[in-house]
């Protein structure tokens, strides 16, 4: 899924060990939902990882005009316990010419590079609610296209320029990709039918995901009920309204299970169901390479969500009475499995992460109640001279406190002790700790926020038995969230 337009190029980050699994936290209710199958909830985390938008299909009420409405709210992820920042906004219904409420399809959250945020649905037409940059509420619904959707699981994405929304769909007709301009000119809406026979051996497809890439091309992966995914590519320079023919379908090598696709900043990731769990691949040239990670467990909902800067991604959800997320906070270089919630029913979960790896999971629980729980960013460990410096995974948030911690990788010699640990950012001291566990919380200096990477240093002074001292310096280069590349 590419849910943000004009994603920033990947900045340099440290190569570190995968974080240990996070401890499960208690989930909290969001509000009454509608447990009617399909994508009834969605979540989209800000690039900073400090806040998120949540949208969900509301339950039926006695008022016909409210019967099929969506609800939406903002959630501050640094607040404990989690809750909507204000009373959820009821987005209202879509009415037909006779004033009757139309049935709503799946809910989807998308965001432009300038902060404009959309709630989108694709059934009985393509519809959009917009929240302007800096605003606190969504405006009235408007129709993008009269062309209706055909599935409960469509996953719309923004084109790279943010001018249109791509709607992948599938059904007895095969698989298709529609393009609807955000300006709402239905006459410009176009539709491409992909080759059903080539992709699925004459069987109806069971999934279809589409992703625009940084080189200007667009790819789609179509899977049948038994898997057998095929890759389609719309060449760079092709018409964004899809009038250019897509290339010939190519079987994804080594993959048999159903798949989900996501991309940002030029790299696409493919998550695939296996008999024992899931596996993840990423693009290598014109196709996908071998698995970069695997995870075991039931997979009730397979999805890929990539942060706007592509520094973090969450892949799949494992478990039906618990929720575990397979997360990378190193742009796909390493993955870890995080426990998000446990001992409660999990229905159709949706997950999203920011560039620092902080995220949020939302799902439909018992009785249709919508619930949420955080995906906490795990630390990276940088080693040198017997010491390990734990720094935030992914990137440094400019809004939230940054936590640094020193750990000993191997024991000190007998009679030696740590006298002090100085913490520095770009050579400037931000604090000193003289007691275990030698940690510091601080806000990233303004001077470091605009750099491609910040130099985080721990300077450890050790006193030996003979009272001589030694000094060890551990350095980590970590990109601030949203930093430019190459500066």
Six-digit token pair at 194? 């992909």
Residue 42 lies in a domain: yes
Most confident of 172-176, 253-257, 372-376: 372-376
The mean pLDDT of 442-471, rounded to a whole number, is 87
Buried b (16+ CB within 10 A) or exposed e, 131-142: beeeeeebeebe
- Count of domains forming the chain: 2
Mark whether 34 and 79 lie in a shared domain: yes
On whether the CB atoms of residues 270 and 304 are closer than 8 A, the answer is: yes
Q: What CATH number should be reported for the domain holding residue 469?
A: 2.60.40.730
Mark whether 100 and 224 lie in a shared domain: yes
Six-digit token pair at 123? 């059934």
Q: If you write DSSP's letter for every residue of 180-235 in order, what string do you get? A: EETT--GGG-EEEE--HHHHHTTSPEEEEEEEE-TTS-EEEEEEETTEEEEEEEEP
Q: Determine if the peptide bond prior to 437 is cis (ω within 30°).
A: yes
pLDDT band at 178 (very low <50, low <70, confident <90, very high): confident
Mark whether 152 and 122 lie in a shared domain: yes
Mark whether 345 and 400 lie in a shared domain: no
Mark whether 370 and 420 lie in a shared domain: no
Which pLDDT belongs to residue 458?
A: 93
SS3 label, residue 66: helix
On whether the CB atoms of residues 175 and 223 are closer than 8 A, the answer is: no
For residues 418 and 435, what is the distance between their CA atoms, to the nearest angstrom? 8
DSSP H/E element including 449 = helix 446-449
The chain-wide mean pLDDT, for the chain, equals: 77
Asked whether residue 484 carries a pLDDT value surpassing 60, the answer given is no
Six-digit token pair at 95? 């009415």
Mark whether 264 and 391 lie in a shared domain: no
Adjacency order of strands within the sheet including 142-145? 107-111, 117-122, 126-131, 142-145
Domain ends where: 342, 377, 412?
377
CB-facing half-sphere around the CA of 453: CA atoms within 13 A: 15
Beta strands per DSSP E along 198-331: 205-212, 218-224, 227-234, 250-251, 259-264, 267-273, 277-284, 287-288, 293-296, 301-306, 313-318, 322-328
DSSP H/E element including 448 = helix 446-449
Picking from 320, 318, 316, 319, the residue whose alpha carbon sits closest to that of residue 328 is: 316
Residue 10 lies in a domain: no
Six-digit token pair at 220? 């789609």
For 85-94, 139-148, 388-397, which range has the lowest pLDDT when averaged over its residues?
Answer: 388-397
Q: What CATH number should be reported for the domain holding residue 134?
A: 2.130.10.10
Beta strands per DSSP E along 336-463: 336-342, 347-353, 359-364, 369-375, 379-384, 387-392, 402-408, 417-425, 428-433, 439-442, 454-463
Query: Does residue 105 or residue 262 have the better pLDDT?
Result: 262
For 155-159, 229-233, 339-343, 452-456, which range has the lowest pLDDT when averaged over its residues?
Answer: 339-343
SS3 label, residue 258: coil
Task: List pLDDT tens digits, range 254-299.
Answer: 787 778 888 876 678 888 888 777 888 888 666 788 888 887 766 6
Mark whether 400 and 323 lie in a shared domain: no
Structural domain that includes position 405: 381-478
Mark whether 353 and 469 lie in a shared domain: no
Which pLDDT belongs to residue 6?
A: 43
Which pLDDT belongs to residue 478?
A: 78
Query: Does residue 84 or residue 331 have the better pLDDT?
Result: 84
Asked whether residue 389 carries a pLDDT value surpassing 80, the answer given is yes
The angle at the Cα of 217, spanning 213 to 218, to the nearest 5 degrees, equals 75
For 171-185, 227-241, 374-388, 391-405, which range has the lowest pLDDT when averaged over its residues?
Answer: 391-405
Which pLDDT belongs to residue 5?
A: 56
Mark whether 466 and 369 lie in a shared domain: no
For residues 101 and 98, what is the distance between their CA atoms, to the nearest angstrom? 9
Domain ends where: 317, 348, 377?
377
Domain ends where: 318, 342, 377?
377
Residue 50 lies in a domain: yes
Mark whether 317 and 435 lie in a shared domain: no
Q: CA separation (Å) from 41 to 2, 110, 132?
A: 17, 13, 21
Task: List pLDDT tens digits, range 114-123.
Answer: 999 999 988 7
Task: List pLDDT tens digits, range 22-74.
Answer: 333 467 888 777 655 445 889 999 988 889 999 998 765 545 445 567 899 99
Query: Does residue 443 or residue 131 have the better pLDDT?
Result: 131
Asked whether residue 186 carries a pLDDT value surpassing 50, the answer given is yes
């Amino acid at each position: 899924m590419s849910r943000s337009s004009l994603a920033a190029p990947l900045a340099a980050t440290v190569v570190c060990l995968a974080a240990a699994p996070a401890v499960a936290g208690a989930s909290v209710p969001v509000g009454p939902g509608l447990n009617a199958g399909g994508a009834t909830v969605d979540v989209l985390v800000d690039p900073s990882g400090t806040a998120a938008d949540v949208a969900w299909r509301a339950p039926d009420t006695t008022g016909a005009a409210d019967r099929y409405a969506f609800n939406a709210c903002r959630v501050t992820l640094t607040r404990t316990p989690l809750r909507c920042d204000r009373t959820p906004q009821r987005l209202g219904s879509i009415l037909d010419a006779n004033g009757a409420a139309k049935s709503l399809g799946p809910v989807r959250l998308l965001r432009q590079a300038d902060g404009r945020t959309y709630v989108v649905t694709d059934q009985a037409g393509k519809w959009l609610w917009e929240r302007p940059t800096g605003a606190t509420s969504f405006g009235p619904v408007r129709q993008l296209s009269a062309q209706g959707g055909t599935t409960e699981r469509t996953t719309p994405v923004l084109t790279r320029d943010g001018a249109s929304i791509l709607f992948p769909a599938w059904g007895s007709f095969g698989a298709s990709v529609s393009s609807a301009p955000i300006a709402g000119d239905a006459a410009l809406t176009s539709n491409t039918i992909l080759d059903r026979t080539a992709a699925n051996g004459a069987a109806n497809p069971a999934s279809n995901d589409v992703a625009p890439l940084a080189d200007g091309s667009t790819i789609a992966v179509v899977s049948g009920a038994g898997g057998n995914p095929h890759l389609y590519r719309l060449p760079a320079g092709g018409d964004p309204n899809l009038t250019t023919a897509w290339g010939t379908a190519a079987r994804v090598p080594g993959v048999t299970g159903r798949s989900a696709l996501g991309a940002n900043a030029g790299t696409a990731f493919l998550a695939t169901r296996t008999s024992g769990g899931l596996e993840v691949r990423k693009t290598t040239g014109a196709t996908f390479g071998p698995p970069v990670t695997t995870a075991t467990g039931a997979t009730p909902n397979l999805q890929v969500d990539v942060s706007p800067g592509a520094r973090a991604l969450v892949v799949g959800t494992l478990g039906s009475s618990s929720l575990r997320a397979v997360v990378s906070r190193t742009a796909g270089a390493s993955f870890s499995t995080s426990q998000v919630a446990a001992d409660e029913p999990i229905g159709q979960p949706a997950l999203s992460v920011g560039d620092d790896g902080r995220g949020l999971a939302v799902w439909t629980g018992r009785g249709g109640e919508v619930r949420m729980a955080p995906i906490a960013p795990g630390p990276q460990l940088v080693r040198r001279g017997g010491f390990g410096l734990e720094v935030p995974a992914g990137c440094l948030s400019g809004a939230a406190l940054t936590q640094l911690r020193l750990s000993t990788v191997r024991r000190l010699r007998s009679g030696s002790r740590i006298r002090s640990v100085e913490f520095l950012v770009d050579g400037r001291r931000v604090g000193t700790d003289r007691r275990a566990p030698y940690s510091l919380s601080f806000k990233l200096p303004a001077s470091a926020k605009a750099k491609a990477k910040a130099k985080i240093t721990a300077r450890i002074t050790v006193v030996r038995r003979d009272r001589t001292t030694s000094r060890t310096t551990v350095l980590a280069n970590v990109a601030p969230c949203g930093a430019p590349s190459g500066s």
